[in-house]
Amino acid sequence: MKHVVSQEWLFEHGIQDHIVIADCRFILGQPEAGKQSYDIDHICGAFYFDLERDLSGPKEKHGGRHPLPDPGKLAAKLGRAGIHEHSVVVAYDDQGGAMASRFWWLLKYLGHDEVYILDKGYSAWKEAGYPVTEELPVEQQAVFTPKVRSEMLVNVEQVKDRLKRPGTVLVDSREEKRYLGLEETIDPVAGHIPGAKQYFWKEGLQASGGWKDASEQKARFADLRNADELIVYCGSGVTACPNVLALSEAGFDNVKLYAGSWSDWISYKDNPVATGKE
């Protein structure tokens, strides 16, 4: 797989100087839980990246529940973790890869290609008997220079402009009942962006918790193969990222993230909302 490394690979290579490990564990609604888990134990040498403090900016009226972070602030944190242009970075979480995928996407967005996700996540690593520690890594003084790839991103106006554009497909990454508008436990309005197709992000994983391979992802997204452009969203721009990764594994290179996602879309009263099957 292009973007996923195995436990065996990380165990063999993780202690090399140019490899940096990022712990991205985070539980939505329990903002301290990830850091508390990290403090108990983590993969040796891993630096902690908090979804809301490090991988998101401050919440405002528009922009969604997890706006993108300021590139300079995130770059400074990446430098303190020892990440520079020659680093190979491996991220993990315990949430099926959702938080680690957000980290993966952000590094790609900031111009860093050598970033990967650990297959199956932290608990599986620990259960397999690989080493963990409570020791905190030493802060580094590397310089990470962001080179923002704005073409990876779309905003609310760009989504509106594309709503009925032939060849552009919106991909909703949330579970079906939220997409259909039958249930909404997080955002104040239920439903989806009109015309969007639903591909729940967890369908990119095998029953074992590992990532499906390229051929399985290709089959999963077969109906999208003729699209000129794919715009992926979710509730707040986090669980869309594993779908962006899966689409890339499947060979799609025309994929953009609507980072504000549903929570940004519904912050504008005039934006249309659809419910039920498309």
| Torsion angles phi and psi, residue 95, rounded to 5 | -120, 35
C-alpha 48/C-alpha 30 separation (Å) is: 16
Name every residue whose Cβ is closer than 8 Å to that of residue 142 and which is 6 or more positions away in sequence.
78, 79, 80, 81, 82, 83, 84, 87
Active-site hit among 24, 44, 234, 241: 234
First to last CA, the chain: 32
Name every residue whose Cβ is closer than 8 Å to that of residue 166 and which is 6 or more positions away in sequence.
228
CA atoms within 13 A on the CB side of 156: 18
Mark whether 24 is an active-site residue. Answer: no
CB of 97 closer than 8 Å to CB of 211: yes
What is the pairing mode between strands 42-43 and 132-133? antiparallel
Active site residues: 234
